[in-house]
Amino acid sequence: MLQAWDFRSSFIVFVAVVMAFLAASRAEAAPSELSAAMPEAVVMLLGGQLSDRRLPAFLEVQPGRLVASSTILRACRTPSVRADSVLMFFLNTQRCEQVTVAAKITLPQRLQTITGRFAPPDLLQRLQLQPFVTLAAAPKSPPLRGAECTCPENTPPEGTLGCAGQTRTAGAPIASIDYFAIDADDDPLSGVFTHRRGSNPIQNGLPSPLLSSCTADPGILQCTITGSAPAQAGEFQLMLAVSDGAAILDLASVLDVTAANDDLIFLDQFETPFCL
């Protein structure tokens, strides 16, 4: 009887220890799972800053929020860290991570996922000029339309183009290009011009010496491009992004610019703009 009682007591103690261990594991996992679902601020720095004796005792990573340098040093200083290593220190969880060479390619997307903000495009260049860069977590904001909203869904704007394409010689006047957009919800419309020559990157505005003018009424936007063809030959895409605040309508016209010594297009002995 005594042996049976000892075995039963030992079994009860064993079960209690296992249950306590599982409860502690769940309690430790909960904060990390919660922080993964919420935006978290990140401090970016280079490994060389860990050995910089000029680093102040406390870093103001956000207005009114200080972090001890020793905390970052303990978390980030490892044998594998070099002077040019890119480090990420997570403010909420007080942990540090070294960014590998391969991970630098997707670093902007990962920072956007963690913080809820877009990282500056020159982030790595900034780290060369300043001790650290803080990416603050995006604040939680309520949805624009709650579940109780019975408002109709947004109707995106629609538009037409007055001149889809034309060929002009460099420096010659172009045929005017008219962009017209209308919104069925009568939302105010705004337009932003961009352009691209060939397969080059998209640039803001229009290439010189082209000019644009726009007029807007409730639910209506009309823009016109006039001027002379750019001096540089090539195919230009002249694009207008029309927005009603929720949806974007893209309109594009093609301007094919030929060199001044190429064959010209004449009509009635004058070079005349011609739209396709």
183-213 residue pLDDT tens:
988 889 999 999 999 888 999 999 999 999 9
Average pLDDT value over all residues in the chain: 78
Domain count, the chain: 2
As a whole number, mean pLDDT of residues 240-248 equals: 90
Banded model confidence at residue 18, pLDDT cuts 50, 70, 90: very low
Q: What SS3 class is residue 75?
A: helix
Q: What SS3 class is residue 154?
A: coil
Same-domain pairing of 181 and 233: yes
Amino acid at 219: G
As a whole number, mean pLDDT of residues 227-241 equals: 93
Residue 198 resides in a domain: yes
Residue 10 resides in a domain: no
Reply yes or no on whether the pLDDT at 267 is more than 50.
no
Structure confidence at residue 181 (pLDDT): 92
Amino acid at 135: L
As a whole number, mean pLDDT of residues 36-52 equals: 79
Same-domain pairing of 266 and 168: yes
**CATH number of the CATH domain containing 225:** 2.60.40.10
Same-domain pairing of 170 and 263: yes
Q: Are strands 165-169 and 248-258 parallel, antiparallel or unpaired?
A: parallel
- Please state whether 86 falls in left (phi above 0), alpha (psi between -120 and 50) or beta: beta
| Residue listed under structure tokens 């705004």 | 190
Q: Is 161 exposed, middle or buried (0-12, 13-18, 19+ CB in 10 A)?
A: middle
Same-domain pairing of 100 and 68: yes
62-82 residue pLDDT tens:
666 778 888 888 888 888 888
Long-range contacts of 117-123 (CB under 8 A, 24+ apart): 117/39, 123/44
Structure confidence at residue 262 (pLDDT): 56
Residue 184 resides in a domain: yes
Same-domain pairing of 120 and 163: no
Last residue of a domain, one of 101, 135, 169: 135
Residue 79 resides in a domain: yes
Range of the domain at 61: 42-135
As a whole number, mean pLDDT of residues 153-177 equals: 90
Find out whether 253 and 177 touch, Cβ atoms under 8 Å: yes
